[in-house]
Structure 1
């Protein structure tokens, strides 16, 4: 296999246009509270070029874009745009300078009309009055160029997210932007709408407009992009032509590792092969908008099952459906062979499920509450009578789990925000263990914690499975999947594409399935309507 650049920043590759680049960002540095978010990062985009910008969570993509558009001021490095130095003071300044950004979460005004959103701040006026017929006619024309025909006098909020994204794109076109940045633009679009969007992007390219295309869907990158920049840990690790790098090499660059067979050391203790018998929980053919398109997984008692896939593959979405946080459009979920379509997480908890979210700070801990309160949050109904918490019983439970999990805290009444990330994660694990669950769903359980705490949590997960608990674990770290799981299901673009077990859980097999959308064993996705 071709050897690609290491984690050090690569020199900018020639642009597809062959001339001077439209955008050249070199040596970009940005830190927050002393922590480097960007370190000598680079990005070079040619005129009339569709350029992919990819990387895992925390790679630095969003920070790079915000530095370019003036949302953040860089700490070091240089930016050249359209032949001259660029230092935009705000996103508005960047827009006036010819850079339009379309975010995944549409940042327009839902209560204003479609036409007003397209021309917001630039309304055509005569004698100080807005020329409504002119503005509406021009808005209609712009949307028709994008293949959209609708009543532009209606509030934007009455239309789907897909239409709102097209309106945002029409706004970008209307300001005659020379560079359009699209952040996960297809996440809410169906197949026909994606094709329409790609047609628009090709049209922009023909007009000499450049596009930075941020996406985790490899099929889309190869379909529409000319060149690519890969970021990892705040650095640019690869820049080159799409045609010169395979999907497998892209995955290797994103993850920062080449294919090899020797395993790395983790704290997992895995007991033999996976369990036999009927699954404790089974999800089949799960569909959820454009995010899941036939996802399936099964977990047996005493088994750790991994969910693998690139960012955007649908791992967290599948977990949320199983836990009742989202309602699927189709598919079946069974617990002990019986239908288990949980309408709310509360129903899932009562049935014996627990769920540690990927975002510990936003969806896990309550920072201002104590360790005691955070740990017993899920069992408060059991601890309270007539609205009064049995503090003696609560203390007994808290003390038991603090000792069992080795949670380092000065006392149970210490605010959880003062604990380290690893100890916060242990409190969240204890919260769900206190419910005496049968199945525990863990979304990136060791992300963002130190090596020591990581090994402790990995060991604990293995021991929980040995004690008979079923564990569904989402992880982006191949070592965790290889060494900690009895079985791994791989997702690709919302679809389960491979189920690996035993000695088939290897780095080459995982990387191949993640990159190509195929694996050792295809998983059927029955079309069952709910």
Structure 2
């Protein structure tokens, strides 16, 4: 990292208002060439608004932004902004049905040419990918790439415009441990070429693994900038939340009383299987118990959660809730049996973004909102207000489009809908992906309360913080259970089991 070179980006005194709301209140940020700089803060802290200012989507009301010592381009000059900065979002922006080569040069296939030479386009793509060490076939359809490969393609596209600053917005939210390792290796390579990264993440361990500096925003204001090595994790959490971390995470443990091993199970599976995804699985989850299914993306744990919720049809075996058989592959029957579901991807599976908070919250209880199959708006709003209050959702009201909420509050809407029918079993797949520390506490606290009320919960995740709420954790590797842990496990032994190291039954 060249300390003498002008910063890749420098923002000073940036103010941004949306009507009466102050989204940024005189914030600052400096990212140097070849640096990975973390920007952290709770949902609503101002991170996304700053990214909008830095990428030319929002015009600041006050303050200055420079790239490489030069003033930021004029607002609306898209080409000039693309040559300075790009953002790789949590939700991939590649076009899935186009090839890698077509995505890399979208809207600029052949300059001053009357037709497109697909051969030349592939060659250009090969040269671009080779220049940055991205091992992807230019002829591959984007939909067939792994998540981190799609991110590499987006980064390479941004660099092809001349940008030397890449904003990474929750880049690991959909990656397993191996994908994260590959992504971080590539980022370090690019840092060696002078590329700067602004890394936005709610996973603080990743900040310590990748970044050299960290900036904290809270309530639209700048709170802290420091070398990562000089900030303890508890101090970083305190800066983000405005309170010491000791009390905030005290619930991250199993229930105080062990579930009654003699009680009739709430959830039972017998020889449940899905060929190619997971081997026959026998589960018994008792009242008051939170069961964790730990594993990386290829472990099969997500497929187990989807089968339990009726999102996939099992290849064999049975699922029962309080003795009642659940019809395989039927979401309505799973709901009727008492299974609530928090999906892995709230964007694609959890929300209807153009609909209101109230409409999203009541999708599973439409039959309860009026007589003879009708839906009364007054009942819909009443239900939504109750959910907003119980989960502390930050919103303008039930009528606000859910797309206008922060990520953590969107996830609370998804959780609220899963709880709407008072489920006997709550299945939560990576329930805290892409949410801040405070929201993570609240969401996992909800999972714990479901079990404490005499029901059962299943948490499917590779996030250690998600799994600390569990009374018992099964580690899956390549579709089979390789280890079982009671509460009190250590990070090292659980990660080793998820990675298939030192398997034990």
1:116-163, Cα deviation, whole Å (9 max, x unpaired):
321234445466554544432121122234444454245434444433
Which residue number in structure 1 is paired with residue 260 of structure 2? 276
Gaps spanning 5+ residues in structure 2: where? 275-282, 293-300, 390-396, 436-441, 473-488
The number of residues matched between the two structures is 435
- The match for 1:37 among 14, 23, 29 is 23
Which residue number in structure 1 is paired with residue 399 of structure 2? 417
What SS is found at the alignment partner of 1:73? coil
Q: How does 1:64-143 map to 2 (within 5 A)?
A: 64-90=50-76, 92-125=78-111, 129-130=115-116, 132-143=118-129
Change (3 A) 1:241 1:320: farther
**Cα distance, 1:169 vs. partner?**
1.8
**Cα distance, 1:84 vs. partner?**
2.6
Q: Is the 8 A contact 1:299 1:470 kept in 2?
A: no
Q: Separation in 2 of the partners of 1:139 and 1:430? A: 44
Q: Separation in 1 of the partners of 2:498 and 2:194? A: 42
Most deviating of 123-132 and 519-528 = 519-528
Q: Separation in 2 of the partners of 1:327 and 1:244? A: 50
1:459-499, Cα deviation, whole Å (9 max, x unpaired):
9x97x989x6537599xxxxxxxxxxxxxx99735872464
Which residue number in structure 2 is paired with residue 59 of structure 1? 45
**Cα distance, 1:66 vs. partner?**
1.0
1:496 has 2:485 as partner: no
Q: Separation in 1 of the partners of 2:209 and 2:59? A: 33
Q: Separation in 2 of the partners of 1:34 and 1:126? A: 47
Q: Point out the structure with max Rg over C-alpha.
A: 1
What SS is found at the alignment partner of 2:158? helix
**Cα distance, 1:178 vs. partner?**
1.8
Change (3 A) 1:316 1:377: farther
Please tell me the root mean square deviation across aligned C-alpha atoms, in Å.
6.0
**Cα distance, 1:69 vs. partner?**
0.7
Change (3 A) 1:431 1:227: closer
What SS is found at the alignment partner of 2:207? helix
**Cα distance, 1:16 vs. partner?**
7.3
Q: Separation in 1 of the partners of 2:465 and 2:325? A: 22
Which residue number in structure 1 is paired with residue 485 of structure 2? none
What SS is found at the alignment partner of 2:168? strand
1:244 has 2:233 as partner: no
Change (3 A) 1:344 1:80: farther
What SS is found at the alignment partner of 1:417? coil
Q: Is the 8 A contact 2:82 2:158 kept in 1?
A: no
TM-score scaled by length of structure 1: 0.61
Q: Separation in 1 of the partners of 2:195 and 2:361? A: 56
Which residue number in structure 1 is paired with residue 366 of structure 2? 377
Q: Separation in 1 of the partners of 2:16 and 2:312? A: 36
Q: Is the 8 A contact 1:69 1:88 kept in 2?
A: no
Change (3 A) 1:104 1:441: closer
